[in-house]
Amino acid sequence: MNAPPVIVIGNGIAGVSFARNFRKKSSKPILIISKETPYFFSRTAIMYVYMGHLRWEDTQPYENTFWKKNKLDLLQGTVTQINPKEKNIRLSDKSILYYDSLIIATGSIPNKFGWPGENLKGVQGLYSKQDLDSLEDYSPSTNEAVIVGGGLIGVELAEMLHSRGKKVTFLVRENSFWNNVLPKEESKLINQHLLEHVIDLRLNTNLSEIIEDKIGRVKAIRTDSGEIINCQFVGLTTGVRPNIDFIKNTDIATNRGILVNKYLETNQNSIYAIGDCSEQQEPQTGRRSIEAVWYTGRMMGETLAQTLTGNKKAYNPGHWFNSAKFFDIEYQTYGLVAAQPTKPEKHFHWKHPNENVAITLAYDENTKKFLGINTFGIRMRHELLDKILCEKKSVFCMIEQLANCNFDPEFFKTYEKKILLKFNQDFNTNIKLKKKSWKVIFNNIIS
């Protein structure tokens, strides 16, 4: 490379989205550095590789020839130092590389909280390709596993281990699963679903110590009540934190993550941060300063590519949305639905009496403006829900459009009539469902 390249540290969704979109408008050399894998892969697919639903090569969205064809240079290595004044980085092999612009997209790493034994063999998180490989190595000699932390990665790991016949104990410090995110009715639904899948769910339980065997591997854990639980594997899934330890001794400003403005700029010239490792100094109302989810990383990469190709653009994540799976219950959320709503937010909740299907609608009790929705067992159309939120429609409009929002009306059971019946009873209304082509709805202002 003759001219200093644009260097991207990290080949996750944020870094690769930037590189792809930057290349569409610029011929500048681009170098993507990652210590994890040579090629970009879908991190959310890790669990399906372990469960035998996918091969590893199926997790790579692009063929290996894609990178050379698009003149995206790849380097598998570890960055150990950044020198903003000299505009260069140092790698673990002592080599020095100069950059024109530097994009830090190093993602997250699992949290650890100083538990005795947390670095033993058989103790790990579930985030990287290396985590998947070590899980495979430990699995043949694991009959009993303990998972610590009640989040989405914990549920994924529980399902993975359960699929191979392991006995799984799940330690959750709260009194109900993920109740800092889900309203109590939904959290209770997931509690019951985990128990139905023979997961030994221990609520109000903390990890105290991880106990070592004679060869340096975990053999048991001790809870805060003093109970000993035998296990050969411990999954630490108590959240993640920005992977920024390697820049702690630089002049790049950090808090929990790398601090960036709305243009994803750090306090150092020509250095940017995107994805899980970045922290918004002025996040949008209702949004967190760090959001470690796939789609925000992609949006940050796309936004920064616009800026660095001459169209300066502020990062705007729009309305919050996310999706996940609790074993065989699909979950989606759009807009903002508080776990413990405070006035003026109020909730309408419906659950099927016999099936694991439920929704929660959040709205302003004064203006009746629709604020958000959680769904369990019902897939929704992103485009239409986002449109309803953007147009600040009422909860009454939302319930009218429920059938049009349903993504699977042709192939799966529908529940709109049952939901509407309860809504009309609760609100003393006589609303009827509006059924139209969703494309017609999307292309016209909802009346």
The string of pLDDT tens digits covering residues 415-440 is: 999 999 999 999 999 999 987 665 56
- Which residues of the chain are in CATH 3.50.50.60 domains? 6-109+241-307, 123-238
Amino acid at 310: G
Using one digit for the tens of pLDDT, what is the confidence trace for 197-244?
999 999 999 999 999 999 999 999 999 999 999 999 999 999 999 999
pLDDT at 437: 60
Task: Confirm or reject CATH 3.40.50.150 for domain 321-443, answering yes or no.
Answer: no
User: Is this prediction's pTM over 0.85?
Assistant: yes
Percent of the chain with pLDDT over 90: 92
Percent of the chain with pLDDT over 70: 97
165 contact partners, CB below 8 Å, separation of at least 6: none
- Which residues of the chain are in CATH 3.30.390.30 domains? 321-443
Nearest to 197 by CA among 177, 183, 182: 177
DSSP-derived 3-state class of residue 73: strand
pLDDT at 411: 77
Write down the architecture of domain 123-238 according to CATH: 3-Layer(bba) Sandwich (3.50)
pLDDT at 443: 63
**CA–CA distance, 350 with 356 (Å, rounded to integer):** 11
Give yes or no for residue 1 having a pLDDT over 50: no
**CA–CA distance, 249 with 294 (Å, rounded to integer):** 28
Dihedral sign (CA 239, 244, 246, 249): negative
Nearest to 14 by CA among 373, 274, 309: 274
CA angle 295, 299, 304 (to 5 degrees): 150
Torsion of CA 96, 102, 107, 109, to 10 degrees: 40
Q: Is residue 445 very low, low, confident or very high in pLDDT (cuts 50, 70, 90)?
A: very low
Structure tokens at 213: 């065997």
The fourth-level CATH superfamily of domain 6-109+241-307 is: FAD/NAD(P)-binding domain (3.50.50.60)
DSSP-derived 3-state class of residue 214: coil
CA angle 74, 250, 260 (to 5 degrees): 75
End-to-end CA distance of the chain: 57
Average pLDDT over residues 159-168: 98
**CA–CA distance, 340 with 353 (Å, rounded to integer):** 23
Using an 8 Å Cβ cutoff, are 39 and 74 in contact? Answer: yes
pLDDT at 441: 59
In the chain, helix, strand, coil percent, each to 5?
30, 30, 45
